Amino acid sequence: MTNEKIAKAFDTPNKKAFIAFITAGDPDADSSVKNILEIARAGADLIEIGIPFSDPTAEGVVIQEANIRALKGGITTDGVFEIVRRVREQSDVPLCFMTYANPVFHYGYDRFFTKCEELSVAGIIIPDMPYEEKGEMEPIANAHGVSVISMIAPTSESRIKKIAAEANGFIYVVSSMGVTGVRNEISTDLDTILGHIREVTDTPAAIGFGISTPEQAAKMAGVSDGAIVGSAIVRIVAKYGAEAAPHLYEYVRSMKEAVAGV
Amino acid sequence: MSKGRYGIHGGQYISETLMNELIRLEEAYEHYKKDPEFNAELQKLLNEYAGRPSLLYYAEKMTKDLGGAKIYLKREDLNHTGSHKINNVLGQALLAKRMGKTRLIAETGAGQHGVATATAAALLGMECEIFMGKEDTIRQALNVYRMELLGAKVNAVTTGTQTLKDAVNDAMREWSNRVEDTHYCLGSVMGPHPFPMIVRDFQSVISKEAREQILEAEGKLPAAVVACVGGGSNAMGAFYNFIEDKDVELIGCEAGGKGVDTPETAATISTGTLGIFHGMKSYFCQDEYGQIAPVYSISAGLDYPGIGPEHAYLHDIGRAQYVPITDEEAVQAFEYLSRTEGVIPAIESAHAVAQVIKIAKNYSPDQSIIVCISGRGDKDVAAIARYRGVDLHD
């Protein structure tokens, strides 16, 4: 399946994308709409919107706490769709969802992806739905024009080619072991991983987990097709609450410039 | 459909970072379960260290008092470390060692599995870290100190409801952070494949022994086997070798908490719905948007919002039935067994005893019921005293 909306995100002058993640409903729906629009205005090529889950096992403390704040604030899956609807009134920025298997399964795959299609959400990232399990969901997502984004980890080794060959939209390369969160250093041999990916597909591959500074973003975009930043953005929301928008703008702009300058 | 399915349940819903490790674990298990040397070493540990076989004890006073089926207690409480958890832990620890791992991590609710894991780690010279909800470290403070005495580091988990599910979350996070030298010694028949299979196989020693013991004692199979169910490891172990014996009723007792009509319950089959969590498709207590519910039980070991996938399947096909037992019923059964037979059961196991108290009279004296006493109740004495409003002094 070719996904034109995602392809557009990587179709920048240097073919590198800056991808921003933000937890929906943190701290409330109004702030989320404002923050997403501001991140888009600052130049993010694609925005991942996190649908909060009570038990986000792939997340570090920063995004765990954002999930808790959002759920305490009363956000629901329908509330997240409403946030996206309001964003879509003002922006056609490429969007993906990131969440866990259960909220999507429980909502009903067909019902969920029908909404995604209506709101022009191009992809979905589900860390607890690996290659072996995606079959129950992917055909339904694809029928609604939504790509199921494949993840490749430092431990994927012999699995890389099999996953990459079937990948859709873009490939999410996990930079480090463990959970999401800001890291001082990324020591994984990403060149080798990207090399294996390139042998089997030209689907763009972006690197996430642990990236927070413009230098790191430039370095990661240098060895791949893009950099994904989550915890550093969520940390700004945690710090400034409902007043986060201008700070997000400034930060995303600096990150986008770093990636654009590669 | 992927591996490790029990009907529609099970599977491997886990992060890509852990997939190769799960594949390696399955391969290692399939190899060593057929290895005579591995099995001999495990059997030796089970017999000479853990104290197996465990007794099948005829509870004569209880039988007379209840008036009906003959009641037999499968005494897993007499195992070293005081519960059935050691059966699985010794198996997994030996397997991990064969895989070249030097460190064990585990979640624990009541602390029984944490103590068993810390024990095996001490015995086999492995490093050990236990994840335990902060709420549970308070409810089960004695077990925290036991684990520390055994050389383990205990991490109090402060996220979410600060109970068993949050301990599993953090143990999974830690495993994905450090998988190279670390084995996650999962304590129940849950999580992604191959864990439900491995834990069930190691726990099936309970029903293997019990089946032989009851045939020896009664000359025929029991009418029913009763066990408590959180994730479901002692129940799966107690049921497994009776599954093909279609006339043997299999009854799992869930934690009803303050009642299945209240939100303060952990009875998954009674109140849960189909979902995907902690690596498996199964039944979970959750809200209308699939957010996992903050469950409750007086028993830290049953205070879990899900149930193992094989139990979910046995429920679906009607082979086993699952019934809720309230806190109050469990506490009464705890006191009853203590007074009547001089056996203080774990509050978890007391849920199974409570069901036997309810149903024994429905059977005739030539029938028998086996109830799995999965653990001993020393750890619960302070909590029961609190429940009864008794002020214990040091």
Task: Determine the Cα–Cα distance for residues A46 and A5; give it in Å rounded to an integer.
Answer: 9
Residues 6+ apart with CB under 8 A from B11: A132, A133, B1, B2, B3, B4, B5, B192, B193, B276, B279, B280, B281, B309
Residue A185 confidence (pLDDT): 84
Q: Is A181 within 8 Å of A212 (Cβ atoms)?
A: no
Residue B393 confidence (pLDDT): 66
| B277 CB burial (10 A radius; 0-12, 13-18, 19+) | buried
Q: How far is A54 from chain B (nearest CA, A)?
A: 5
Helix %, strand %, coil % of chain B (to 5): 45, 20, 30
Helix spans in chain A (H): 4-10, 29-41, 61-72, 77-88, 101-107, 109-118, 138-143, 160-165, 190-200, 214-223, 231-240, 245-260
Q: Is A214 within 8 Å of A6 (Cβ atoms)?
A: no
Residues 90..119 of A with a Cβ closer than 8 Å to B: which? 100-107
Which pLDDT tens digit goes with each residue over A135-162?
Answer: 999 999 999 999 999 999 999 999 999 9
Q: Which of the residues B85, B165, B281, B379 is marked catalytic?
A: B85
Chain B environment of A131 (Cβ under 8 Å): 16, 19
pLDDT band of residue A187 (cuts 50, 70, 90) is confident
pLDDT averaged over every residue in chain A: 97
Question: Any idea which residue has 């709101």 for tokens?
Answer: A119
Of all residues in chain A, what percent carry a pLDDT higher than 70? 100
Residue B140 confidence (pLDDT): 84
B299 is catalytic: no
Are A132 and B2 inside 8 Å of each other by CB?
yes
Rg (CA), chain B: 19
Are A156 and B20 inside 8 Å of each other by CB?
yes
Q: Does B159 touch chain A (CB under 8 A)?
A: yes
**A159 closest CB neighbour out of B1, B20, B274:** B20
Q: Within 13 Å of residue B273, how many CA atoms lie on the same side as its CB?
A: 13
Secondary structure (3-state) at A229: strand
CA torsion through residues B65, B66, B72, B74, sign: negative
Tell me how many degrees the CA angle A130-A131-A132 measures, rounded to the nearest 5.
90
Q: Within 13 Å of residue B198, how many CA atoms lie on the same side as its CB?
A: 31
Residue B142 confidence (pLDDT): 86
Residue B324 confidence (pLDDT): 98
List the structure tokens of A169: 């939209």
Q: Does B52 touch chain A (CB under 8 A)?
A: no
Residue B290 confidence (pLDDT): 98
Q: What's the rounded mean pLDDT across residues A245-254?
A: 98
Which pLDDT tens digit goes with each residue over B88-142?
Answer: 999 999 999 999 999 999 999 889 999 999 999 999 999 999 999 998 898 788 8
Task: Determine the Cα–Cα distance for residues B26 and B33; give it in Å rounded to an integer.
Answer: 10
Q: What is the CATH number of the domain that holds A203?
A: 3.20.20.70
Residue B372, strand partner residues: B74
Q: Is B231 within 8 Å of B190 (Cβ atoms)?
A: yes
Q: How far is A248 from chain B (nearest CA, A)?
A: 27
Q: How far is A246 from chain B (nearest CA, A)?
A: 30
Q: Does A71 touch chain B (CB under 8 A)?
A: yes
Which pLDDT tens digit goes with each residue over A4-63?
Answer: 999 999 999 999 999 999 999 999 999 999 999 999 999 999 999 999 999 999 999 999
Q: Does A55 touch chain B (CB under 8 A)?
A: yes
Chain A to chain B Cβ contacts (< 8 Å):
124
Q: Does A155 touch chain B (CB under 8 A)?
A: yes
Task: Determine the Cα–Cα distance for residues B332 and B350; give it in Å rounded to an integer.
Answer: 8
Chain A environment of B193 (Cβ under 8 Å): none
pLDDT band of residue A88 (cuts 50, 70, 90) is very high
**Helices then strands, each counted (H, E), chain A:** 12, 9
Residue in A197, A13, A47 with CA at minimum distance from that of residue A122: A47
Residue B1 confidence (pLDDT): 58
Are B178 and A177 inside 8 Å of each other by CB?
yes
pLDDT band of residue A199 (cuts 50, 70, 90) is very high
Are B17 and A152 inside 8 Å of each other by CB?
no
Are A130 and B13 inside 8 Å of each other by CB?
yes
Residues 6+ apart with CB under 8 A from B52: B46, B79, B87, B205, B209
Residue B71 confidence (pLDDT): 98
**A133 closest CB neighbour out of B13, B159, B291:** B13
B374 is catalytic: yes
**B19 closest CB neighbour out of A101, A130, A135:** A130
Q: Does B43 touch chain A (CB under 8 A)?
A: no
Q: Are strands B249-257 and A95-98 parallel, antiparallel or unpaired?
A: unpaired
B107 is catalytic: yes
Chain B environment of A162 (Cβ under 8 Å): none
Are B292 and A71 inside 8 Å of each other by CB?
no
Q: Are strands B182-184 and B103-108 parallel, antiparallel or unpaired?
A: parallel
Task: Determine the Cα–Cα distance for residues A8 and B139; give it in Å rounded to an integer.
Answer: 55
ipTM of the complex: 0.97
Q: Does A242 touch chain B (CB under 8 A)?
A: no
**A155 closest CB neighbour out of B165, B179, B279:** B179
Of all residues in chain B, what percent carry a pLDDT higher than 70? 99
- A9 Cα distance to chain centroid: 12
B24, B166, B287, B291: best mutation site toward chain A, by most A Cβ within 10 Å?
B291
Phi, psi of A32, rounded to the nearest 5 degrees: -60, -45
Q: Within 13 Å of residue B106, how many CA atoms lie on the same side as its CB?
A: 32
Q: Is B93 within 8 Å of B124 (Cβ atoms)?
A: yes
CA torsion through residues A7, A8, A11, A17, sign: negative
Low-confidence ranges of chain B (pLDDT < 70): 1, 393-394
Q: Is B287 within 8 Å of B279 (Cβ atoms)?
A: no
Residue B138 confidence (pLDDT): 86
Domains in chain A, number: 1
Task: Determine the Cα–Cα distance for residues A168 and A149; give it in Å rounded to an integer.
Answer: 6
**A76 closest CB neighbour out of B2, B178, B289:** B289
Secondary structure (3-state) at B218: helix
Which pLDDT tens digit goes with each residue over A50-86?
Answer: 999 999 999 999 999 999 999 999 999 999 999 999 9
Q: Does B285 touch chain A (CB under 8 A)?
A: no
Residue in B336, B350, B360, B369 with CA at minimum distance from that of residue B64: B360
What domain range is A111 assigned to?
Answer: 4-260
pTM for this prediction: 0.97
Q: How far is A49 from chain B (nearest CA, A)?
A: 17
Chain B environment of A54 (Cβ under 8 Å): 160, 291-292
Task: Determine the Cα–Cα distance for residues B320 and A230; give it in Å rounded to an integer.
Answer: 45
Q: Which of the residues B107, B254, B341, B348 is marked catalytic?
A: B107
